[in-house]
Amino acid sequence: MAEAKITKRSEDYSRWYTDVIAAAELADYAPVKGCMIIRPNGYAIWEKMQQALDGMFKETGHQNAYFPLFIPESFLKKEAQHVEGFAPEVAVVTHGGGEKLEEPLIIRPTSETIIWNTYRNWIQSYRDLPLLINQWANVVRWEMRTRLFLRTTEFLWQEGHTAHATDDDAEKETLQMLGVYKRFAEEWMALPVIEGRKTEREKFAGADHTYSIEAMMGDGKALQAGTSHHLGQNFAKAFDVTFQTDQGTRDYVYATSWGLSTRMIGALIMAHGDDNGIVVPPRLATIQVVVIPIFRKPEERERVMAAVNNFTAAFKAAGIGVKIDDREQYSPGWKYNEWEKRGVPLRIEVGPRDLEKNQVMLVRRDNGQKTPASQDDLAQTVRKTLDEIQAGLYQKAVEFREKHSYPVDDYSKFNEILDRDAGFLWSHWCGSDACEDRVKAETKATIRCIPMNRPKETGKCIVCGETSEGRVIFARAY
């Protein structure tokens, strides 16, 4: 096994990020530029994310289905905004079975078009609504500048596509799923997020409006962690999906779509990782506790392992994912380092001297804290400690975000703050595209969102001085 060295985070954040991925064996580069091989350690995190989200989707009445990877090229052209937004990054298949295809096929960049083409056959009456479907799939968007997990040409995600009888129902669904994403980010990923509405410039191509959750990464930059779109009747009109209302009239169906991707693994690395590697929040860790038995002589090994088998027996029943690393070809120190790089939330060290005191040593990955603990009821102690780590990671991320958030009323300060610290800049904005574009061009910061729970506060647009009703978040983003 190659010894992977991790660049210090403060030295070169971008190098640190790729080093952490290599050290934890999360992903590899693929032969095709921009593609990614997700290794078992990375995929295990994705599976945990899937399980958590899938459970929440089903609790809210959604079912899973699967639509094809190939979409007739003509479909994309049916919704004007949609084609404009996606055409530049679409991969097109022109040949199949050794012959030129009559109509080229696109590889789905997202599935609204093929799904709405299908919904036309599935929806006839208000009794068929709402239609609540989710798909777990891969999508392809041809990217010029790629980074593992954050931006790759092919990525994994889920995409929800729902159909409703009224605009109001579609809006409720859009907000409900945004809420699901927020809960997932905060309760599972220990990642605090801000819910808000995207500006016209930043909304999904083909949406009436878009909401997102925005998180702050460890370098102060923003990351869009999930989006939920109210599509209005745009796709129903493009694909002629109408239904008979309960009044007997015909109307176009209202739509939503919402997605969250493997980019969240990148978010997890950047939000919680440190100079020793990734830190996986306990609720997303397959191995939550690693036990490192310490021994020199065979008779010590026997005694230590007997104790380990004894106290870990109750772990499974307590729902604790445990790994006992009793490999003899590696020293305990080497193993500590190895499991730290992989982000295992808690380590248990136990040697002959601990046995005399009926104890073990608990070492937390998030803050390095070492505490002795009794072997009696160890499963409960571990459970409690894992909960504390989960809560601690969230708290730390909240504090970090607050420390790097600034109310800014002077536009000339923008670049100075962004260059020094990145961060979230809460500033007034008049609502015009022109002011938004100017800030982006001059500072590389975009409006991340118009926060939903922002305080009402009259002010003046930071660029033009026109009246504004409240602050929006400007930040440089991934």
Please report, as ranges, the residues that interact with Zn ion according to CB under 5 A: 430, 432, 435, 461, 463-464, 466
Least distance CB 468 / Zn ion (angstroms): 8
Smaller CB distance to Zn ion: residue 378 or 463?
A: 463
Q: How far is the CB of 46 from Zn ion (least distance, A)?
A: 41
H or E element: which one contains 341?
A: helix 332-341
Report the nearest approach of Zn ion to the CB of residue 57 (Å). 39
219 vs 436 by CB, closer to Zn ion: 436
CA pair distance 276, 264, nearest whole angstrom:
20
Closest contact distance (angstroms) between CB of 438 and Zn ion is 8
Cβ distance to Zn ion smaller for residue 71 or 430: 430
Cα distance between residue 277 and residue 363, in whole Å: 15
Of 318 and 434, nearer to Zn ion (C-beta) is: 434
| Structure token pair of residue 430 | 């008049």
Q: Which string of DSSP letters, residue by residue, matches 128-184?
A: G--EEEEEEEEEE---SS-BTTTB-SEEEEEEEEEEESSHHHHHHHHHHHHHHHHHI
Residue (227 or 446) nearer to Zn ion, CB: 446
Q: For residue 129, how far is the Cα from the chain centroid?
A: 30
**Shortest separation between residue 432's beta carbon and Zn ion, angstroms:** 5
A 10 A CB-CB count for 63 gives 10
Shortest CB 224 distance to Zn ion, Å: 23
For Zn ion, the closer of residues 179 and 431 by Cβ is 431
Least CB distance to Zn ion at residue 137 (A): 40
Closer of 324 and 461 to Zn ion (Cβ): 461
- Helix runs in 342-444, H state only: 352-356, 378-403, 414-421, 433-443
Residue among 77 and 440 whose Cβ is closer to Zn ion: 440
User: Cβ of residue 433: shortest distance to Zn ion, in angstroms?
Assistant: 10
Beta 194-197 vs 154-164: how paired, if at all?
Answer: unpaired
Nearer CB in complex with Zn ion: 233/432:
432
**Least separation in angstroms between CB 465 and Zn ion:** 7
> For the range 377-384, what are the long-range contacts, defined as Cβ-Cβ under 8 Å and sequence gap of 24 or more?
378/311, 378/314, 379/311, 379/314, 379/315, 379/317, 379/318, 379/320, 380/318, 382/289, 382/315, 382/318, 382/320, 382/346, 382/348, 383/318, 383/319, 383/320
Closest approach, Cβ 70 to Zn ion, in A, equals 44
Residue 393 or 463 with smaller CB distance to Zn ion: 463
**Which residues does residue 342 pair with via DSSP β-bridges, in sequence order?**
none
Report CA-CA distances (Å) from 292 to 41, 305, 314, 332, 383: 19, 10, 17, 7, 18
* Edge-to-edge strand ranges of the sheet holding 446-451: 63-64, 131-140, 154-164, 254-261, 222-232, 209-216, 194-197, 446-451, 471-475, 424-428, 405-407
